Amino acid sequence: MVKEEEQNGSEKGVSRREFLTQAGWALGSAALGAGWTPSADERALQAAPEFESKYACPVDAQKFATFEELQAHFATAHPHVAAPVTTLRVNERDYPVQIEPQWTLQQTLQFKLGLTGAKTMCDRGECGSCTVIIDGKPALSCTTLAVECEGKSIETIEGIAANSRWNPLIQAYMKHDAMQCGYCTPGFIVTAKALLDKNPNPTEEDVRQALAGNLCRCSTYPRHAKAILEAAQGLRDGK
Protein backbone atom coordinates (compact mmCIF):
# COMPACT_ATOMS: atom_id res chain seq x y z
CA MET A 1 0.00 0.00 0.00
CA VAL A 2 1.24 3.47 -0.74
CA LYS A 3 1.84 5.45 2.37
CA GLU A 4 -0.53 8.30 3.10
CA GLU A 5 2.27 10.84 3.13
CA GLU A 6 3.10 9.92 -0.47
CA GLN A 7 -0.43 10.71 -1.53
CA ASN A 8 -0.49 13.96 0.39
CA GLY A 9 3.01 14.99 -0.55
CA SER A 10 5.98 16.04 1.50
CA GLU A 11 6.04 18.91 3.92
CA LYS A 12 9.06 20.12 1.97
CA GLY A 13 7.95 22.17 -1.03
CA VAL A 14 8.57 25.29 -3.02
CA SER A 15 7.33 28.60 -1.79
CA ARG A 16 3.99 29.86 -3.03
CA ARG A 17 5.78 32.46 -5.13
CA GLU A 18 8.15 29.90 -6.70
CA PHE A 19 5.31 27.56 -7.46
CA LEU A 20 3.15 30.20 -9.09
CA THR A 21 6.07 31.41 -11.18
CA GLN A 22 6.59 27.90 -12.53
CA ALA A 23 3.02 26.90 -13.01
CA GLY A 24 1.91 29.03 -15.98
CA TRP A 25 -1.45 30.53 -16.71
CA ALA A 26 -3.59 27.45 -16.20
CA LEU A 27 -2.44 27.13 -12.69
CA GLY A 28 -1.79 30.82 -12.43
CA SER A 29 -5.47 31.54 -12.12
CA ALA A 30 -4.83 30.70 -8.51
CA ALA A 31 -2.07 33.27 -8.48
CA LEU A 32 -4.69 35.96 -8.73
CA GLY A 33 -5.53 35.04 -5.19
CA ALA A 34 -2.21 36.14 -3.72
CA GLY A 35 -2.85 36.77 -0.09
CA TRP A 36 -5.61 34.16 0.19
CA THR A 37 -3.94 31.08 1.58
CA PRO A 38 -6.35 28.61 3.14
CA SER A 39 -4.64 25.59 4.60
CA ALA A 40 -5.89 23.14 1.95
CA ASP A 41 -4.52 25.39 -0.77
CA GLU A 42 -1.18 25.62 0.96
CA ARG A 43 -0.99 21.87 1.37
CA ALA A 44 -1.65 21.41 -2.34
CA LEU A 45 0.94 24.01 -3.26
CA GLN A 46 3.52 22.24 -1.15
CA ALA A 47 2.61 18.77 -2.31
CA ALA A 48 2.30 19.22 -6.04
CA PRO A 49 5.97 19.53 -7.04
CA GLU A 50 7.01 16.47 -5.00
CA PHE A 51 7.19 13.78 -7.67
CA GLU A 52 10.24 11.72 -6.84
CA SER A 53 8.09 9.18 -4.99
CA LYS A 54 5.50 8.94 -7.76
CA TYR A 55 5.87 5.18 -8.01
CA ALA A 56 6.24 3.12 -4.84
CA CYS A 57 6.61 -0.62 -4.71
CA PRO A 58 3.58 -2.00 -2.80
CA VAL A 59 5.61 -5.04 -1.77
CA ASP A 60 8.71 -3.49 -0.18
CA ALA A 61 7.87 0.27 -0.28
CA GLN A 62 10.92 1.22 -2.33
CA LYS A 63 10.34 4.40 -4.29
CA PHE A 64 10.99 5.11 -7.95
CA ALA A 65 10.81 8.23 -10.05
CA THR A 66 9.48 6.55 -13.18
CA PHE A 67 7.17 3.71 -14.13
CA GLU A 68 10.01 2.08 -16.07
CA GLU A 69 12.13 1.95 -12.92
CA LEU A 70 9.27 0.37 -10.99
CA GLN A 71 8.81 -2.20 -13.76
CA ALA A 72 12.52 -3.04 -13.69
CA HIS A 73 12.36 -3.38 -9.92
CA PHE A 74 9.40 -5.77 -10.17
CA ALA A 75 11.13 -7.82 -12.82
CA THR A 76 14.12 -8.44 -10.60
CA ALA A 77 12.77 -8.25 -7.02
CA HIS A 78 9.22 -9.61 -7.43
CA PRO A 79 9.07 -11.50 -10.73
CA HIS A 80 5.82 -13.27 -9.82
CA VAL A 81 3.87 -10.19 -8.74
CA ALA A 82 2.12 -7.77 -11.10
CA ALA A 83 2.62 -4.05 -10.50
CA PRO A 84 -0.79 -2.42 -9.76
CA VAL A 85 -0.62 0.25 -12.42
CA THR A 86 -3.29 1.60 -14.69
CA THR A 87 -3.13 3.94 -17.66
CA LEU A 88 -4.98 7.22 -17.72
CA ARG A 89 -5.31 9.22 -20.90
CA VAL A 90 -5.04 12.88 -19.94
CA ASN A 91 -4.83 15.74 -22.44
CA GLU A 92 -4.20 13.26 -25.27
CA ARG A 93 -1.28 11.63 -23.51
CA ASP A 94 -1.18 8.21 -21.84
CA TYR A 95 0.15 8.11 -18.28
CA PRO A 96 0.91 4.84 -16.52
CA VAL A 97 -0.04 5.68 -12.96
CA GLN A 98 0.01 3.79 -9.71
CA ILE A 99 -3.21 4.43 -7.82
CA GLU A 100 -5.14 3.15 -4.85
CA PRO A 101 -8.70 1.97 -5.61
CA GLN A 102 -10.22 4.65 -3.37
CA TRP A 103 -8.39 7.60 -4.92
CA THR A 104 -10.44 10.19 -6.71
CA LEU A 105 -9.48 11.45 -10.11
CA GLN A 106 -8.77 14.87 -8.59
CA GLN A 107 -6.30 13.38 -6.10
CA THR A 108 -4.64 11.37 -8.83
CA LEU A 109 -4.31 14.32 -11.21
CA GLN A 110 -2.87 16.50 -8.47
CA PHE A 111 -0.66 14.18 -6.48
CA LYS A 112 0.39 11.63 -9.09
CA LEU A 113 0.47 13.59 -12.32
CA GLY A 114 1.22 17.04 -10.93
CA LEU A 115 -1.80 18.56 -12.67
CA THR A 116 -3.06 20.99 -10.05
CA GLY A 117 -5.59 22.91 -12.15
CA ALA A 118 -8.60 20.83 -11.11
CA LYS A 119 -8.93 21.99 -7.53
CA THR A 120 -10.65 20.58 -4.52
CA MET A 121 -12.84 23.19 -2.91
CA CYS A 122 -15.90 21.45 -1.43
CA ASP A 123 -14.76 17.84 -2.04
CA ARG A 124 -18.41 16.75 -2.19
CA GLY A 125 -19.66 17.47 -5.70
CA GLU A 126 -21.19 20.86 -4.99
CA CYS A 127 -18.90 23.58 -6.32
CA GLY A 128 -17.44 22.57 -9.70
CA SER A 129 -13.89 23.75 -8.96
CA CYS A 130 -12.59 20.26 -9.74
CA THR A 131 -14.29 20.04 -13.15
CA VAL A 132 -12.56 18.13 -15.93
CA ILE A 133 -13.93 16.79 -19.20
CA ILE A 134 -14.33 13.03 -19.50
CA ASP A 135 -15.19 11.68 -22.92
CA GLY A 136 -16.49 15.08 -23.94
CA LYS A 137 -18.67 15.78 -20.91
CA PRO A 138 -17.88 17.95 -17.90
CA ALA A 139 -17.35 15.81 -14.81
CA LEU A 140 -16.48 16.42 -11.17
CA SER A 141 -13.11 14.88 -10.50
CA CYS A 142 -13.64 14.95 -6.71
CA THR A 143 -16.49 12.46 -7.02
CA THR A 144 -15.00 10.34 -9.79
CA LEU A 145 -12.69 7.47 -8.92
CA ALA A 146 -9.51 7.34 -10.92
CA VAL A 147 -10.01 3.65 -11.61
CA GLU A 148 -13.30 4.47 -13.35
CA CYS A 149 -11.40 6.52 -15.90
CA GLU A 150 -9.30 3.78 -17.42
CA GLY A 151 -9.91 3.77 -21.16
CA LYS A 152 -11.53 7.20 -21.11
CA SER A 153 -10.23 10.49 -22.43
CA ILE A 154 -9.70 13.15 -19.77
CA GLU A 155 -9.17 16.84 -20.48
CA THR A 156 -7.99 19.27 -17.84
CA ILE A 157 -7.44 22.99 -17.71
CA GLU A 158 -3.77 22.39 -18.44
CA GLY A 159 -4.62 20.80 -21.79
CA ILE A 160 -7.03 23.60 -22.66
CA ALA A 161 -4.49 26.28 -21.73
CA ALA A 162 -1.82 24.57 -23.83
CA ASN A 163 -4.03 24.48 -26.93
CA SER A 164 -3.84 27.78 -28.81
CA ARG A 165 -7.31 27.21 -30.22
CA TRP A 166 -8.65 28.14 -26.80
CA ASN A 167 -6.68 31.37 -26.47
CA PRO A 168 -9.85 33.42 -27.13
CA LEU A 169 -11.48 31.87 -24.08
CA ILE A 170 -8.51 32.57 -21.84
CA GLN A 171 -8.01 36.05 -23.24
CA ALA A 172 -11.69 36.85 -22.70
CA TYR A 173 -11.43 35.75 -19.07
CA MET A 174 -8.45 38.03 -18.61
CA LYS A 175 -10.05 40.94 -20.46
CA HIS A 176 -13.24 40.76 -18.41
CA ASP A 177 -11.34 40.08 -15.20
CA ALA A 178 -13.64 37.14 -14.57
CA MET A 179 -11.76 35.95 -11.52
CA GLN A 180 -10.66 37.26 -8.17
CA CYS A 181 -8.89 34.64 -6.09
CA GLY A 182 -8.96 32.38 -9.13
CA TYR A 183 -9.50 29.21 -7.18
CA CYS A 184 -12.74 28.38 -8.96
CA THR A 185 -11.62 29.67 -12.34
CA PRO A 186 -10.19 26.47 -13.87
CA GLY A 187 -13.50 24.73 -13.21
CA PHE A 188 -15.44 27.53 -14.90
CA ILE A 189 -13.17 27.53 -17.94
CA VAL A 190 -13.28 23.76 -18.33
CA THR A 191 -17.07 23.87 -18.13
CA ALA A 192 -17.13 26.69 -20.67
CA LYS A 193 -14.89 24.72 -23.01
CA ALA A 194 -17.23 21.74 -22.83
CA LEU A 195 -20.17 24.02 -23.59
CA LEU A 196 -18.45 25.65 -26.56
CA ASP A 197 -17.43 22.26 -27.95
CA LYS A 198 -21.09 21.29 -27.98
CA ASN A 199 -22.63 24.66 -28.74
CA PRO A 200 -20.34 27.16 -30.50
CA ASN A 201 -23.04 29.84 -30.53
CA PRO A 202 -24.60 29.82 -27.06
CA THR A 203 -27.04 32.35 -25.70
CA GLU A 204 -26.43 34.01 -22.35
CA GLU A 205 -29.05 31.69 -20.89
CA ASP A 206 -27.18 28.67 -22.32
CA VAL A 207 -24.02 29.90 -20.60
CA ARG A 208 -25.80 30.45 -17.29
CA GLN A 209 -27.33 26.98 -17.47
CA ALA A 210 -23.98 25.38 -18.28
CA LEU A 211 -22.29 27.15 -15.37
CA ALA A 212 -25.06 26.38 -12.89
CA GLY A 213 -22.89 23.83 -11.12
CA ASN A 214 -19.87 26.10 -10.72
CA LEU A 215 -19.73 28.19 -7.57
CA CYS A 216 -17.51 31.18 -6.89
CA ARG A 217 -17.10 32.45 -3.38
CA CYS A 218 -15.75 35.72 -4.76
CA SER A 219 -18.98 36.31 -6.72
CA THR A 220 -17.54 36.77 -10.18
CA TYR A 221 -20.72 35.43 -11.75
CA PRO A 222 -21.75 38.32 -14.07
CA ARG A 223 -18.34 38.32 -15.75
CA HIS A 224 -18.29 34.68 -16.79
CA ALA A 225 -21.17 35.05 -19.23
CA LYS A 226 -19.58 38.14 -20.78
CA ALA A 227 -16.23 36.40 -21.18
CA ILE A 228 -17.67 33.19 -22.60
CA LEU A 229 -19.98 34.93 -25.08
CA GLU A 230 -17.08 37.03 -26.32
CA ALA A 231 -14.87 33.95 -26.53
CA ALA A 232 -17.56 32.14 -28.52
CA GLN A 233 -17.57 34.98 -31.03
CA GLY A 234 -13.76 34.92 -31.23
CA LEU A 235 -13.69 31.17 -31.75
CA ARG A 236 -16.31 31.42 -34.51
CA ASP A 237 -14.26 34.18 -36.16
CA GLY A 238 -11.13 32.07 -35.90
CA LYS A 239 -9.31 34.67 -33.79
Q: Please report, as ranges, the residues that interact with ligand FES according to CB under 6 A.
A: 120-123, 125-130, 140, 142, 179-185, 216-218, 220
CA 61 → CA 70, 160, 217, distances in Å? 11, 36, 41
Burial class (CB in 10 A: 0-12, 13-18, 19+), 164: exposed
132 membership: H or E segment, kind and range? strand 131-134
Closer residue to ligand FES (CB): 36 or 67:
36
Closer residue to ligand FES (CB): 31 or 218:
218
Shortest spacing between CB 182 and ligand FES, in angstroms: 5
Closer residue to ligand FES (CB): 53 or 131:
131
Shortest spacing between CB 136 and ligand FES, in angstroms: 19
State the SS3 of 142-168. CCCEHHHHCCCEEECHHHHHHCHHHHH
C-alpha span between 33 and 52 (Å, rounded): 28
Q: Are 140 and 128 within 8 A, CB to CB? A: yes
Closer residue to ligand FES (CB): 47 or 57:
47
Q: Are 129 and 143 within 8 A, CB to CB? A: no
Closer residue to ligand FES (CB): 97 or 130:
130
Shortest spacing between CB 107 and ligand FES, in angstroms: 11
Shortest spacing between CB 211 and ligand FES, in angstroms: 12
Shortest spacing between CB 61 and ligand FES, in angstroms: 30
